[in-house]
Amino acid sequence: MTSILSDLDLQETRQKLNQIDANYESIGCLGHGGFGSVFAAKKKSGRRVALKVMPMDTSDEDEYEKFTREIEAVVKLNSCMDEEKKLGNNRDLSIVYFEDWYIASNFVCIVMNYVDGGTLASEIERKTEPYAERRIGWYALQLCDALAFAHERGVSHHDVKAANILIDASGGGKLLLADFGTSIKPGEECVGFTKCYASPELLASFELEDFSSLRPDKIDSYALGCVLYELLLLQRLEQVSGQQTLAQFIDGAGLDAAMESLPLPFLPPDTTKGNIVGYTHELKNLVMNLLQPNASDRWLPSQLQQPLRNDPKSPLLMPHIAAAKTASPGVPVTVDNIQLGMFVQRGPDWNDGDRDGPIGSVGVVVSLDADALYAEVAFPSRTSQTPPEPICCRIGASNKFELKVGPMPLPDFVSNPNDLRHDGIVPIDSTVAVTLGGKLNGKCEVVGIDKSLGVMMVAPLELLPIKSLAKPQIWQLQESSFCSPREHVMHPSSWRLDQGPFTDLLEQEEFENVLSLFFGTIDLPDHLKKEYFPVQKIERTQDTWLFESYARRKEKVAMENWGLANEVDAFMTSDGLHQNNIQMFSSGGKEFSMKALNILGKIGPSSSTKQILLCRVVTGRAASASSPSNLICHTECIGKDMYRCRGPCLAYPQYIITYKNQAPRDFRYGVTTEAANAPQSSPEQRSPTKECVICMERPVKYVMVPCGHAVLCDRCNSPYQLRKLKSKCPECRATFQRTMMIYGRVVNDE
């Protein structure tokens, strides 16, 4: 059974969606999951943003608390990031940025910065060749920076995983850490995690239901190690874990066994050159430091920042490339193929004029940058007066590639011309004086010297123009890749199709659920008395074609409505459905209501056997008299708690309820006062019930303390509605401390 939205819920939903529509234009759905849907949208300025829309009962304290937890954590980090920039620290941290958010009774929406590369999880699934070691190191550094920044400011993510890491393709493939819904502050205990990324101590605490002794920053460290392990494995842990998590495998077989089970080997430094594909032991140690089973032995992200940035053996600074094939001449230089001493030329996005010399000049990479989207190169100056000056070039930053791989191999212009030279690195001869800009054999020039490595970088003076090859295609979301915000749902597995399109409902629980919707909740004004409308039979309809049509229509409505289909259980007239072909059923123009009482009045008061439909209805955007004419609306409000479908396939008739009308002749249909189920009395005998001042519909059941005003019904006394009142009594505006239920009936003063 679907959830029931009240008339007020639909009105509030419509108002919030109208606000969103006024500020953003939907482009397409980027993805969806159990949380909801993420849409690409465009602001009036033309700038793209992402809208994360999550169906949620905001009166449910547990659900609402997770939403506010994410908002508070990200807004705090965003504020700290803004302060850092004001102080002159322009470091671009890999943390998602929230611009705005909206809250309605049945959904919440977060507006965040738009990234067009999907998630790291989807990249791993698309990957067919091993990750280059330098890219793994670059990803590790970005995530260490983000987590260390958050930890220093009292926020632990607590659900680090590839699916919660976004890729900014337009920014050269930079990462963004997202989804802080389970983040915790100092002193708080665990509120959620993903099992296959969980550390051993977290799994043990979960079994004991005691999280008091955990260190959340160490839990984030272990999860980061799991993400790096996925990059080495080239598979997601969800796909390989089965009944055993990585932590459980390590506990049984050992950490060394886990590292040895990876598809590529870890090779000594002298064998990682050329076309031998493998990773270095330095990368192995990095991952093992994060996956230590004992939390006290596990490194924190903050402890890895400096080694990754400054250690010469860091995957970001090592001279050679690992786990990547040597690049072909003419290919743009990227984080995946760059190495110290590489021959390069001006690339497709060159932006430094003639600083490289004439076209065809060959330069050399003289320094690697821990920010892997940049590199320093030097070209021959060709004069003795001006030594070569390094140029900082983009090799992916802002998706720009200023260098291409130069001609390789070249005849050895330093010693024996019959040998081939693959790079410009030459050991320094202590017996020969070496100066920057010095010429060797009249064929090459010294363009760089690295005394720590004991080498110099030399570049040929000969001009060797080569053809540029295509820029690397970083995967980006295209409009053709936009998906439906709703997974296509097949018909229920409980259907017994061999019994035809109509079958008696025999399951007791399902039968009782239908009855409860038909009669309503006892003690509420719209409750029906069973003796007035005795139910004789309930039949379930089973038509796969009609259900498939409804499911496809629901997907389309969700796409047009920010992922919100707004599905409800509602009543309609049967119009002889049982006698006709069920596939002739159409919702176009049909009226419906979430209250059976309103539809009973449409059917008529005669005492003969009657039928009413309980349908699953997609309300989508319910139009009102004030709705802008340019909005797509799927249903329309035609009266109090009454709606009309604006098109076909918006409803599926789930059940046919057969009943007898034995209500008194003066029974009032389609009203929601307490007198609806009783014969009318004279005005002198009637004591009018005071209605809730919020919904103006239900009887008052709660008073405000301490002012004592009786103003709220049982539904408007929800945590969500109380938050909206901002601790002010709606009648006298005095501050209230709590509400108190009253028994009996409150009547109007007049």
**Residues 576-588: pLDDT tens digits?**
776 667 888 889 9
Structure tokens at 104: 């309605």
* Residue 718 Rama label (left phi>0; alpha psi -120 to 50; beta): beta
* Cβ pair 153, 77 in contact under 8 A: yes
Q: Which of 355, 296, 284 is nearest to 322 (CA)?
A: 284
Q: Looking at residue 481, what is its pLDDT?
A: 61
Q: How far is CA 745 from CA 76, 512, 715, 730, 738, in A?
A: 47, 29, 16, 20, 20
Q: Which of 111-120, 412-421, 571-580, 643-652 bottoms out in mean pLDDT, i.e. has the lowest? A: 571-580
Task: State mean pLDDT over 380-401.
Answer: 88
b/e code 512-541 from CB counts within 10 Å (16+ = b): ebbeebbbbeeeebbbbeeebbebeebbbb
SS3 640: coil
| Greatest Cα-to-Cα distance within the chain, rounded to the nearest angstrom | 120
Residue 447's CB is within 10 A of a number of other CB atoms, namely 27
E strand segments, 633-700? 635-639, 642-645, 651-660
- CA–CA separation, 417 and 703 (whole Å): 97
String of DSSP letters for 86-114: HTT-----SB--EEEEEE-SSEEEEEEE-
Listed in sequence order, the residues at least 6 apart from 575 whose beta carbon sits closer than 8 Å to its beta carbon are none
Q: Looking at residue 750, what is its pLDDT?
A: 47
Listed in sequence order, the residues at least 6 apart from 460 whose beta carbon sits closer than 8 Å to its beta carbon are 362, 380, 410, 413, 443, 444
127 is in an annotated binding site: no
- CA–CA separation, 240 and 256 (whole Å): 18
Q: How confident is the model at residue 236 (pLDDT cuts 50, 70, 90)?
A: very high
Task: Please name each of the domains of the chain with its CATH number.
Answer: 7-113 (3.30.200.20), 120-309 (1.10.510.10), 343-460 (no CATH), 497-677 (3.90.228.10), 687-750 (3.30.40.10)
**Residues 242-276: pLDDT tens digits?**
778 999 999 999 999 999 999 998 987 555 444 56
**Residues 602-611: pLDDT tens digits?**
887 776 788 9
Burial classification of residue 142, based on how many CB atoms lie within 10 Å of its CB (0-12 exposed, 13-18 middle, 19 or more buried): buried
Strands 98-103 and 48-55: unpaired
User: 743 or 359: whose pLDDT is higher?
Assistant: 359
Listed in sequence order, the residues at least 6 apart from 503 whose beta carbon sits closer than 8 Å to its beta carbon are 496, 539, 540, 542
Listed in sequence order, the residues at least 6 apart from 175 whose beta carbon sits closer than 8 Å to its beta carbon are 94, 120, 139, 142, 143, 146, 165, 166, 167, 168
SS3 156: strand
Which strand ranges, in their side-by-side order, compose the sheet holding 702-705? 710-712, 702-705, 738-741
Q: Which of 215-224, 308-317, 337-346, 634-643 bottoms out in mean pLDDT, i.e. has the lowest? A: 634-643
Q: What are phi and psi of 630, to 5 degrees?
A: -85, -5
Q: Looking at residue 679, what is its pLDDT?
A: 44
Query: Which contiguous run of DSSP H or E holds residue 336?
Result: none
Q: Looking at residue 654, what is its pLDDT?
A: 94
Residues pairing with 31 in the sheet: 38
Query: How big is the chain, counted in residues?
Result: 750
Q: Looking at residue 193, what is its pLDDT?
A: 92
Residue 715's CB is within 10 A of a number of other CB atoms, namely 18
E strand segments, 156-268? 165-168, 174-177, 266-267
- CA–CA separation, 731 and 745 (whole Å): 19
Q: How confident is the model at residue 678 (pLDDT cuts 50, 70, 90)?
A: very low
E strand segments, 574-621? 591-592, 609-618
What's the pTM?
0.78
Listed in sequence order, the residues at least 6 apart from 38 whose beta carbon sits closer than 8 Å to its beta carbon are 29, 30, 31, 32, 50, 51, 52, 53
Q: How far is CA 165 from CA 82, 195, 233, 711, in A?
A: 21, 17, 17, 47
